[in-house]
Amino acid sequence: MDVTDVDSRPRLGQIVRILRGRDAGKYAIVIGLEEPHFVWLADGDQRKFDRPKKKNVKHIQMTNVISEEVADVVENFGRVNNAKLRYALNQYLLQCGKLEQKGE
């Protein structure tokens, strides 16, 4: 992946799948960019907004989904609450069928 390519760069609010490390296989949201090779990720549950994970873009798989609500809040206020991150991730996972409903 060429990080100089505009289309392959992660954007604020983009949902990504973590490929390497302790959190491999989990999904998170990009809440910060550190050019040219790093992003800051949070999921609102295990990885809160106050303690995001710095990841190399080579170690994540970007989806085509961008949570506009999360992106707008981060751009305007500089932070987003963890409930909004969890909600955006859960909506994406339910839509893709990757999250089982609790209960029956």
Domain definitions of the chain by residue range: 6-96
**Could you tell me the pLDDT band of residue 1, with boundaries at 50, 70 and 90?**
very low
pLDDT score recorded for residue 101: 57
pLDDT score recorded for residue 103: 53
Residue 11 to residues 62, 91, 97, 98: CA-CA distances in angstroms?
10, 19, 24, 23
Q: Which residue has the tokens 């040219």?
A: 36
pLDDT score recorded for residue 19: 96
> Looking at the predicted structure, is the pLDDT value of residue 7 above 90?
no
pTM of the model: 0.85
pLDDT score recorded for residue 5: 45
Provide the CATH topology of domain 6-96.
SH3 type barrels. (2.30.30)
pLDDT score recorded for residue 39: 96
pLDDT score recorded for residue 100: 60
What rounded mean pLDDT belongs to the chain?
A: 87
